[in-house]
A and B are shown apart, each in its own frame.
Chain A
Amino acid sequence: METLVLQALSGLASASSLFLVASGLTVIFGVSRIVNFAHGSFYMLGAYLAWTLVTSLPRGHLGFWGGVIGAALGVGLVGLVVEVLLLRRIYRAPELFQLLATFGVVLIVQDLALLAWGAQDLLGPRAPGLRGSTGILGMRFPDYELFLIVVGPVVLGLLLLLFHRTRWGTLVRAATADREMAAALGVNQRLLFTSVFVLGSLLAGLGGALQVPRESVNLHMDLSIIVQAFVVVVVGGLGSLTGAALAALLIGELHAFGILVLPKITLVLVFLVMAVVLVLRPHGLLGRPQDRAQPATGGAEPVIGPAPRPLLRLGAAALLAAVVLPPFAGDYALSVLTEIAILILFAASLHLIMGPGGMASFGHAAYFGMGAYGAALAAKWLAAPMELGLAVAPLAAGLFGLVFGWFCVRLSGVYSAMLTLAFAQITWSVAFQWVELTGGDNGILGVWPAAWATPKLVYYYLTLTLCIGATLLLRRVIHAPFGYALRAQRDSALRAEAIGIDAFRTRWLAFALAAVMAGLAGGLFAYAKGSVFPTFLDIPRSVDALLMVLLGGVQTLSGPIIGAIAYTGLQEQLVRLTDLWRLLLGGVIVALVLFFPQGLAGAARARWETRHGDA
């Protein structure tokens, strides 16, 4: 009994911390509709800044609390800079672009933090006056945790007062509901959005700063908190403060008790709950459908026509080069080329659901990884040869695509994207935690190609054939009646249904087909590397796929191909050139979002069309 109470209390303390971060995220989303990936980075910055301030200021109450407040304010200032320099310019851009831009900020902050604070974990001092513990039911509970339990509800109360009892709050709520109408009434949204973003960043910074006495400050805080914060915000309902509080409570307690009851699947549990909530309540616990929601990719999409002749010639020349030149390439170049071919298929498969399908996926790595693990597990447990493994990979991924897709394609916009993320995290957690089957963090080694395909050049040609074949098949699908139906339901699900298209089934099949193709890419990747690891299905890999598609341009068929080549090439070069490749890559991403909002292929097409008249 006593353990249960203490466990519940520590659940409350983590719920409180989680709420601080999630509240900022949900407030920002509610007003600006921006899904801010960099929110976790602000949290991390808050922790680092607080560590620096608290350790350099004189010890005592003033030094500690002054440091915490100062860190929160400092992060608010960083938020101000990010909003004014970057986000303000892209409020009208499609949601995914905003996500991409904020992910660029994540990369930049990671390297800046590394430069400023170094790679080692930092331990901060404990809070003065809260170092001890209090006896509860005969057991000791840390005072600082009790303090955190109080902070969450206090912040919630203050925020509710701010939003419901001040003119600023009333204006923010009005602009949240209908930006244009608020503007027509003389409300300067720019100022409003900036102030909201600063407030949200400040809350993230405060959340991070308050963690300093609890845990070490390190460079992984950003991604680990952002995923949890996303879960809380989505489960609570995007934009709902009370919802976020409820969800934080739910997730916090789930963690606390999950560890007692089912220590093996704590990671899965959280995402399972998110999936269940979204299936039962598509807009989260307290969320509502967005008033004037934008489609995921914004506005009317350009019609996809056959490629103009010069582009075909260019593509043919590139393909010819890919076939003729490799015999003269070294082993390293061959592995890079093999990887690029695989990533082209991976990007093209995601493009099918994002471009023509109009759906967003934050978890496409799940199917890539599922293919890789399918092949590796078949090799490990069934001693399956490569040929069989390469057949198992797309089938396994497709099967999961059918199951997960059945849930995901029912939702729309950010919720759907978050559900794909949840499923991806579930598969990741299984690969990570089910050590007996998957080897956990150590992965599965010894996944080698068949003897005939072992030479790097042969394996390259095998990969090239399968990947280019599959990519061309995907293009064919887009130009087939199924592709028309897919685009029709994207542009107007209602009208598509009215002419007899089963929008749900169309989306579902597209999702499964994309999973099959991603699975094939994953299988090829497993044999290329000789091993599989949980990183094959983690978030950074999903983000890679997103980046490739968005970099190339969502609404062009050559986009994913160009994006995959550009992204892999860029990353490869940057890693070789400098230790600060994240900083540079982040900078490039931000620049691309600002200057090429249609992606590389999109920008090229726009130039082509202005020069040759509108096609």
Chain B
Amino acid sequence: MLRVTGLSAHYGRAHILDGVALEVGPGEVVVLLGRNGAGKSTTLKAIMGLVPPSAGSLRFLGREIAGREPFEIARLGLGYVPEERRIFHDLTVMENLEVGRRPAPAGMRPWTPERLFALFPGLGALRDRPGGRMSGGEQQMLTIARTLMGNPRLILLDEPSEGLAPVVVERMAEALRALKADGLSILLSEQNLHFARQVGDRATIIEKGRIRWSGAIPELMAAEAVREQYLSV
């Protein structure tokens, strides 16, 4: 579904990504693991076209998307949920959802606010609340819901568990499992291994802009040395 090969990116002269390769299949949840500053967010941004890749190929649904503009990439069915959530603060919950709305591809059951309120029960009561006056957890639900309104085939999810209370993280994991059951592919960037193993099928470890390890989640749980080397703080 999404195949990334040889992806490199720079901020000024600093090399941030160096030949990143990864793959996400249909209905698969791949977790991009790594410490702070390893290049997880930049990988997602480069796929989305928000950071211009300096080299590499990005193939999504059989089409090359490297060098395209973010709005075109989004319209091809790739959703992006940023780490900072970036809710439109002056817009209400319903208006935030409206900004994300795009027609669904043929054969897909389109997301509606009602369906999303069923998935994220907290949001339904806040329809007319401005985005700026919501808690962090509510904003995190809203930012995912907003991206889903575009009826994406795959979403890039940047550290959704960050800064959330444990009980909210549990609810988030539940929602992601439901989305996966629905057939959505997810590329999830995470530092929280506990959260990652609840939702992920496969893991890819990135450090200093390079992919260091890839494999199934159970393999990662078995490989203590790998976890020790790349993930322990």
Contacts and interface: CB of A to CB of B under 8 A. Distances in A.
A291 B89 CA distance: 10
B200 interface: no
Given A167-B98, A170-B95, A170-B98, A183 B71 contact: yes
B88 A189 contact: no
Nearest to B151: A186
B152 to A, nearest CB: 9
A180 B50 contact: yes
Contacts of A325: none
Interface residues of A, number: 18
Interface stretch (B15-23, B59-67, B74-82, B167-175): B74-82
Nearest to B92: A170
B160 to A, nearest CB: 15
Contact of B75 (A171, A186, A189): A186
Nearest to B48: A184
Contacts of A173: 88, 90-91, 95
Contacts of A171: 99
Given A177-B89, A181-B82, A170 B70 contact: no
A293 interface: no
A170 B82 contact: no
B86 A181 contact: yes
A185 B100 contact: yes
A133 interface: no
Given A173-B88, A173-B90, A177-B90, A186 B102 contact: yes
B150 interface: yes
A178 B71 contact: no
Interface in B171-206: none
B50 A182 contact: no
Contacts of B114: none
Contacts of B95: 170, 173-174
Interface in A152-186: 167, 170-171, 173-174, 177-178, 180-186
Q: Which of A178, A183, A291 counts the most chain B CB atoms within 10 A?
A: A183
A188 B71 CA distance: 6
Contact of B74 (A167, A174, A177, A186): A186
15 contacts: A170-B91, A170-B95, A170-B99, A174-B96, A177-B90, A178-B88, A181-B82, A183-B50, A183-B74, A184-B71, A185-B99, A185-B150, A186-B71, A186-B150, A187-B71
Given A174-B96, A177-B90, A189-B71, 14 more contacts: A170-B98, A170-B99, A173-B88, A173-B95, A174-B95, A180-B50, A180-B70, A183-B50, A183-B74, A184-B50, A184-B80, A185-B74, A185-B99, A188-B71
Interface of B: 48, 50, 69-71, 74-75, 80, 82, 86, 88-91, 95-96, 98-100, 102, 146-147, 150
Top 10 A-B residue pairs of the complex, sorted by shortest distance between their CB atoms: A186-B74, A183-B70, A174-B99, A181-B86, A184-B80, A183-B71, A185-B100, A186-B75, A174-B88, A177-B88
Interface of A: 167, 170-171, 173-174, 177-178, 180-189, 291
